Amino acid sequence: MKCPYCGYSESKVIDSRPADENSSIRRRRECLSCGKRFTTYETVESLPMVVVKKDGSRQSFDQIEQDLQNSMEREISTEAIGEKVMERLRNVDQVAYVRFASVYRQFKDIDTFMTELNKLLADNR
């Protein structure tokens, strides 16, 4: 571990204890060159999540909602992502929600579109 003060690459661990509800380890270190002390944290590397598309292909998912990350799943379906996006859009931007829903749920006609709009209007009352 490089010393943040002098850049020397060797240090000794003085103290080590669990941190962040046992999700990481906090270590106090002392630089073997300048003698200054600093703190480091060791955490488990989170595994990258992969999106499984409708056609079965897989693609890495770079931007992910925290609740999806907390699910600890390595693979997630596009349906699950679509539902989460719609859930959030409905509360943030209703126009964006209807536009997204029309594509995601593949609205075939104006009646389907109006049904979704009426549900949204009823929920707002």
Amino acid 74 reads: R
Give yes or no for a contact between 73 and 49, defined as CB atoms under 8 angstroms apart: yes
pTM above 0.85, yes or no: no
Going from N- to C-terminal start, the domains of the chain cover: 11-43, 50-124
Give the confidence band of 49 by pLDDT, cuts at 50, 70, 90: confident
Between strands 50-52 and 58-60, the pairing is: antiparallel
Over 60: is that where the pLDDT of 7 sits? Answer: yes
Over 80: is that where the pLDDT of 73 sits? Answer: no
Return the higher-pLDDT residue of 83 and 59: 83
